[in-house]
Structure 1
Amino acid sequence: MEKNNYITPKGHQKLVDELDQLLKVERPEVTRLVQWAASNGDRSENADYLYGKRRLREIDRRVRFLSKRLDAAVIVDPLKITSDKIQFGATVEVTDEDGNERRFTIVGVDEVDTAKGRISWQSPIGKTLLGKNEGDEVIVKVPAGEITYEVVSITYKSID
């Protein structure tokens, strides 16, 4: 049974754009290269042909992956959420025991970008934060032990 792939509208569009790029631009270009290389004769030592075939397999593998992810996609628009609790799409500000502030945006697994504070709803921090309110304390288990965060604010806004 396929799991739901929760994703924001922008994350969904990014996957759709990548799939279109692969199907409409890259695959046709590589196919033309392979056809040209095949017309040159001996395929066993033809680097263009061998590379092109390998690249076609890579493209086809990525197309299958993206198609499955998009088929399982459940688009959740953070701008339409009015909850006071932390849900998918929330941007959450927390402070740790030392008073350090961090900001996390809970997104789908295909949208994770830890440098921008985007964490998966399936990550240890994401799972722990879901359902919490402002002022709640959460304990996140990490490989180095445990981190205690206090939820400072919860907002729902468009993911950049």
Structure 2
Amino acid sequence: MSRWKAPRPKSSPYITPAGYQRLEHELKDLWLKRKGVVSALSAAAAEGDRSENAEYIYRKKELRGIDGRIHFLQKRMSSLNIISAMPADQERIFFSAWVLLENDKEEEVLYRIVGADEFEMDKRYISLDSPLAQALLKKTFDDHVLIRNEFQETRYTVIDIQYGAEFIAD
């Protein structure tokens, strides 16, 4: 049994302005946190034998994690396309749309289609790469979407489509 893992599929390079600002803020915070970790690491290193120094070992591991995340963010942010313009046809579903759907049980659910780097910002956000978002793209009012997985099958009907920072209930 090998340890080789297939590379993750590339995610969409799109992001909203708010999502990009959050990544910039995270990167800035990581650089500040890194300064503190480096000074704690050098203090722990000055205490003597590093092989049995738990503080030193912990700080090295913490620094490795911070450096890895900084490297990832710097590389990822340079490849992102910030999408701030509204689509010409706002009757159809595209990136950054708020979509109000009705499911099989006649329950309404609200989602916003965002980039893969920002869907965890809000429970209502779904990644552009998700099966539901892919099925919704270019749909319009009263269109139906069927989502299947190995456990269930769900049918949605598009009730409302809006663009903007927040969804405004009618």
Asked if Structure 1 and Structure 2 have the same fold, meaning a TM-score greater than 0.5 normalized by the shorter chain, the answer is yes
Shift of 1:98: 2.4
Question: Which of these residues, 1, 10, 14, is aligned with residue 22 of structure 2?
Answer: 14
Matched, 1:46 2:53: yes
Question: Take 2:40 and 2:71, find their aligned partners in 1: how far apart are those partners?
Answer: 22
What letter corresponds to residue 69 of structure 1 in structure 2?
A: R
Answer 1 or 2: which has greater helix percent: 1
Superposition RMSD in Å: 1.9
- Per-residue displacement from partner, 1:69-100 (whole Å, max 9, x unpaired)? 201111112x6334221001000011122211
Equivalent pairs: percent with the same residue? Answer: 38
Q: How many residues align?
A: 157
For structure 2, the residue ranges without an aligned partner over 5 or more in a row are 1-9
Against the structure 1 CA distance between its residues 32 and 87, is the aligned structure 2 distance closer, same or farther, given a 3 Å change threshold?
Answer: same
> 8 Å contact 1:96–1:149 — kept in the other structure?
yes
Partner of 2:86: 80
For structure 1, list consecutive stretches of 5 or more residues without a partner in the other structure: none
Counterpart of 1:122 in structure 2 is: 129
CA offsets per residue over residues 12-60 of structure 1, 9 Å max, x none?
111111111111x111111111111111111111111111111110001
Q: Which amino acid aligns with 2:28?
A: D
Asked if 2 retains the 8 angstrom alpha-carbon contact of 1:95 and 1:101, the reply is yes
Match of 1:105 in 2: 112
Match for 2:101: what amino acid?
Answer: V
User: What TM-score do you get using the length of structure 2 for normalisation?
Assistant: 0.85
Q: 1:66, CA displacement in angstroms? A: 1.0
Task: With the length of structure 1 as denominator, give the TM-score of the two structures.
Answer: 0.90
